[in-house]
Structure 1
Amino acid sequence: MVLSMSRPQLHPRTRTYWLRKRVPADLVAVVGRKEVTLSLGTKDQAEAKRRYVVELSKLEAQWETLRNGPLSLTEREAHEIAGALHDRWLSRYRDEPSAQTFWPVDVGARVFTRRAWDQSLSPVENLTAAEPAFARLLQLEQWCSAAADEELLARGLRTDPDGHRKVAKAIGAAVQRASLTLQRMAKGELLADPPPPISALPARSSAHKPLQSASESKTGKVVDTAARVTLSGLVEKWWLEAEKAGKSPSTRESYTNTMRNLGAFLKHDNATQVTFEDVIAFKDHRLASTGRSGKPISSRTVKNSDLAGLKSVFGWAVANRLLSENPALGVTVQSGARVRMRDPSFTTEEATAILRAALDHPRGTELAQTYAAKRWVPWLLAFTGARVGEIVQMRRQDLRKVKIEGHPGDTWVLTITPEAGTVKTKQAREVPLHPQLIDLGFAAFVENSSDERFFLVPDAKGGVAGPLQGVKNRLGEFARKQVSDPGVSPNHGWRHRFRSVAIEAGVPEMVIDAICGWAPRNVGGRYGSVLQKPRADAIARLPWIKLSANETQLTSD
């Protein structure tokens, strides 16, 4: 039998050739995935075959390096790794040297050394006396460390801690040298005999071969990405792999919005032209912007959504040879503890107002699914402790009747599952429904409904991410009409309240965590599971909610 040779694969949508290679079983734990995918950056079959051989050779060399375990690098090897970054730094700013503002040479000279600080002062006095410069110094050192991770990863190298520190220090020295050169160029000084690029220095003996730049092939030529890499296209390429790795559609939507906002801010869509300064300017722009609510965008949102998205997508692009470096690397934003002026859960009066409005909500002309969401979702949130998206994406098949010991008749059980849409923990869980929900007619509503989705209409492709967010927004607006206090979330306030009510009813915390999908609080909590009976017992202990016709007061049996 003739075995087929591995070869480039044509992507069905982009029509670009890719390399796909299964990671050897002994390296899966080290690499962190079972398969490597890499765009070859061309639609020409002959060129794809040539690049495939080059990239496959690199990949197999990296795997061999990983098999040999962590390397102990010499200082010379570390400087060879950093040399490529030195050359790229000069190349990036050569035409406009004064545009290099990320690396201040006065602070950069002190990276990875404390000799510049006054040794006669105590650490506290030192920090107080030079806090801005000290903070910038630490930021540059963190950037060098992250850049070392990226450069080593691009070469498939694993080093011991000492080797990693040598690379980080070498990168700091390389960028400092390049920045000093650019500073002289910005002043108009002509370097009569400029030093050769470090990457052009003579190679060592065959026993110590120079380490290649992430942007160079074995021939010494820059790896050609063949086509202009767009911000919008980059997210789509990232998602092809991220989806298989278990990333949620909501993450894709968030990162797509971030890239769209970045493109609108920069007024172009070319990912290869994005610089460190662009990302910093975009960060400042976002911090000065307001959201749809009219409130300023928080530093937490900029850090955990915008910058996280840029770092992830650009980092993936570097690892897959689509970009030479990650322009978001090292960019951060300070964020402190959120100021809280009140308890995050609904008060009795607030819960009463929303639930009464849900019962009295008129049919009107809105979609049947939107009407049903306003009618039932607040009550379901009150008795399940679920996240609003987990309820809105509910499907008919997620509800069933089961026999549970100690509970007469059938008990309706809701399965909250990633198959329905997005679940933050990516783990399914079961929540028995409270008898009052059945008494109010929710079971009858389910049995009489002919649609698979009760509270939303999937888009033309069957997706639910966009429609889900729309319904969540409308539910938030609906609740906000009853509870105007900005200190409580109009949807998430139910999740906080559920825990408070359950604790007051004497439900064990382990059972509350299982119902709400919270992680165990200790290692012991990861063993065993909370079965249906204790979950049903816990839900049954929650007090019935009574809304008096004459009072805006919530009482219980």
Structure 2
Amino acid sequence: MVQMITPWKHPQTGIYYLYKELPPHLRDEMGKRQIRRSLKTRDPAEAKRLFVQAHAALEQEMAAAEARIAARKVADDISPERARVVVDAFIRTRHNPGHYARWPTLGLTFWLEDAARFVLGAEHPLAMLPAYGTAEDLLKRRGEPLPGDCWLDVVRQLPPSEWLKASEPVLKEIFRDQKPAVARTPSNELLIMQAWNACVRDDNACLRSDVDAPRRIGAKPRLRADLTFRELLKLWNEEKKPRPQSYAEVERATEDLIDYLTDIPVESLTSDMLMDYRDDARKLPATMPRADRSLPFNERLARHEHSDTERVSATTLKKRIGSIQALLGFAHQQRWITNNVGTGVRISGYSRAGRGRRSFLPGELRQLFASDLFTRPDLLLHRRAAVSDVTLYWMFLLGLTSGARLEEVGQARVADVKTDDGILYIDIDDVPGAATDASLPDKSVKTQGSRRIIPIHDHVLALGFGRYVDALRTAGSDLLFPDLRPSTFGKLTKEASRRLNRYINAIVSTDGRLVFHSLRHRFKDEGRSAEIQERVLDQLCGHAPATVGGRYGEGADIAALKRSLDRLRFDSVDWDRLRGTAAAIAWPPVIAQVIARAKAGTEQAS
């Protein structure tokens, strides 16, 4: 049945109804394929009025269903890091600590290799571990198949959907051992086995190295009983190469722990010590004077633990303890410590589901784009903020109609706005500033799939985005948003994010789940309602594994992307009204003022 956006009149009874076809992903949750609700009237005018109320109520029900689905998924799904912890713990409890201690996973992988031969008909030869693990025993294995070879070949040659069929011997044991229980979902099974396969690869490579040079078996143990937290932080940074902001968070949490306990050997840390640190860190206030933030942990605690101000949130506390857990997990993976005492340390009140963001509801979207920012062009330069209303104007529009992340849009340069075969698009990449102009800030992307092109929606073109870009080129601006300046960690949109989210709070809702990123969720919702293929939506949003090579990379070409994008109408926005107000904007003088203010702000800051 075609989804109706106006009341439907029953041909026989004359009674008006609300008809709506539910998106496929909501049908199981809401228990039906389509909604049919009587408006209990034959009066057309009354039906229109009641339809608005009924449709708004239905939108709320659908939003609640979306939230329940998301909450269940978040509650059930584990992270890749958690999967590795689960696998590590399982291997520690099951492997033979004697001769095979250097290759603990391989003694258990025989289950999988035997199952692969039986379930998948794999013809790879099986191999047992060396009987004694001595140098002489290892020398005999040169040139022969080794434990793990068969399974790794299966994983390389077959898709996960196939080799997971042979993974039952391991999966059954792992899931049975988990306390608290881990939901056995397809995504969790895949993460567990990916973590397992990584262990198999590591141990197989270690065994092969031992076979090639068996005398290495006598090397000293990896345990580093004297490794301190500052030394561990340095090694973690060198190995993981985290982003500057991530490193700063881990460094601050580590220095606070050191001030709390002194720089003790990591091996000597106990779960009780970490929990005491967690409990005392919970006493810190959510906000404190700038001068106090640089104080050592114990001084901050002594000064503020008895104040009447609000305490730190569970999310903030999770970041602090999670930083220490990340270091401990790294040290344990390297076998520098005997046990990972961070496993199992929980933060009361913290929930990944509670931190989630939700999509804009149609009424909220209508409210946002009916505000003065979009309907009063004479006010675009009225506020003299570090990030202008002009920048907010285009960021909101591009965020809604492209599904792009805020930093992806904010770091774009004028040269990234290109045309091919009459289609205007933005090229999202991570070319360092020094590769083109050392004076420009670097660009980054979240994942490899984030490198992509995003066509400009017809709605945005009609509002004069092309004229805006032309005005920037004429003015000699390199950046698409010339009033954005890098933060301490190189992010261009830190201040813009604050302004955008404060604007949402002021105009739409103070719901903490409703932020600029919620436009990305709305984009996905609109795409599914328009029945756009999921892979095309993923490609537009930067979730698909596409590359920039070969002109546009893998997936749909630019013409197909543009056709799919323009099928998203965003009907809750009054585009006719926005086009009328945008037509009055003379972009060259507006851009000139934005650039002048940005230059003055930069000179003042320096």
The structure whose residues are more often helix, as a share, is 2
Q: Normalization by structure 1: what TM-score?
A: 0.49
Q: Normalization by structure 2: what TM-score?
A: 0.45
